[in-house]
Amino acid sequence: MAKRKHYSNGIFALETSYWYKDLTDRTSIRPVLSLLGESYLKMPYIFRDVATKEEFLHFIGKWPQTKYQKSPKYPILYLGFHGEKESLCLGDGRMKMENRVVDLVDLAKELKGKCKDKIVIFGSCSTFATDGRRITTFLKKTGALATIGYRVDVGWFASAAFEMLLMGELQTQQFTKSGVKKVRKEIDRQFNRSGLKGDLGYRFIVSGE
């Protein structure tokens, strides 16, 4: 298998500790991160379990810090949670609503002006089931280069496969508008060919569009 030119576009990953109510369940995106980290891409990543809104806000505040934007850099924020329209839902759903929901407006406030040359991936069902202007506003307020998310509920294995491909492709380009558009074109090509694009309902939006 031929190797491709690659960069060290690291992932700063936050994921719910409780995808499901059964505490013996071990569902996690972490093996995907590990696979990419141990491949020829040698993708650097930071991974943290998040169970509460307080923990979420704590780690979101850490990501833009200078020490995580030097070599190796972590310009990609991955958010692996349950989701609903315009929101992330923390935990397994048993907590009171105000303690478990972070919407796009909340997140934009936390990351205001801190995402230059960075990408935010929402690994959550239906968060992007909204007017495109809401997503554009999120990009403008945060200064992010691009954001990716789902507009429908997605199966765990299908989304994990897509996110592995996405994270891998994001290692092949520099983080410029033209670079991330090349990533999007390649993702679309592969998923159009597989027939999965319509089922996943993903949206890949670049700043300025």
Q: What is the Cβ-side half-sphere exposure of residue 66, based on CA atoms within 13 angstroms?
A: 0
Of 41 and 100, the structure prediction assigns the larger pLDDT to 41
Of 149 and 98, the structure prediction assigns the larger pLDDT to 149
Residue 2 lies in a domain: no
Domain that holds residue 174: 9-206
Structural domain count of the chain:
1
Query: CATH number of the domain that 118 lies in?
Result: 3.40.50.1460
Residue 4 lies in a domain: no
Residue 162 lies in a domain: yes
Q: Is the dihedral of CA 141, 108, 197, 15 positive or negative?
A: positive
* pTM for the full predicted model: 0.92
Residue 159 lies in a domain: yes
Per residue in 68-107, pLDDT (tens digit) is 888 779 999 999 999 999 999 887 655 556 678 899 999 9
Residue 190 lies in a domain: yes
